[in-house]
Structure 1
């Protein structure tokens, strides 16, 4: 679960960076649910793995949360989220 959530978080961040390009801001509407699913996978990974193996799941959770927050802020600044 940790590796999956880490890869998912990296993809969400790359998608977030792509959505910063003008006229591609609509990508945030698809990136946010994608990152939420990744955060849920990471949360399951944190809950059900041993203490020593939680690093990747925690990193994936952090990456997905950053992508969600930046996507929501970007949508609210651009007027896409009221």
Structure 2
């Protein structure tokens, strides 16, 4: 059950992360990173690793985009 919730969190977070890749919308990563952390935590508590892995990918891409933008844009 927690894996399903983690996948749903990842599926909600993924499109927001894609929008945050657009220049001058990098501040959205400040929403993406906490959402992906919650999904990763839920995925870590479940038996399967699908939701955890999805959220880890979103988390890493969001953090790298934020880092490349100088933590601003």
TM range (shorter): 0.7 to 0.9
Alignment of structure 1 residues 30-49 onto 2, 5 Å: 30-46=31-47
Bigger Cα Rg = 1
Secondary structure of the 2:46 match is helix
Give the whole-Å Cα distance in 1 for the aligned partners of 2:59 and 2:30: 10
Match of 2:27 in 1: 26
Mind listing any 5+ residue stretches in structure 1 that lack a counterpart?
Answer: 47-53
1:9 and 2:10 matched: yes
1:74 and 2:68 matched: no
1:2-49 deviation per Cα after TM superposition (whole angstroms, max 9, x unaligned): 211111111121111010122211000111011001100111112xxx
Q: Name the TM-score, length of structure 1 as normaliser.
A: 0.79
Count of aligned positions: 71
Give the whole-Å Cα distance in 1 for the aligned partners of 2:58 and 2:16: 9
Structure 1 residue ranges (4+ consecutive) displaced by more than 4 angstroms after TM superposition: none
Match of 1:60 in 2: 51
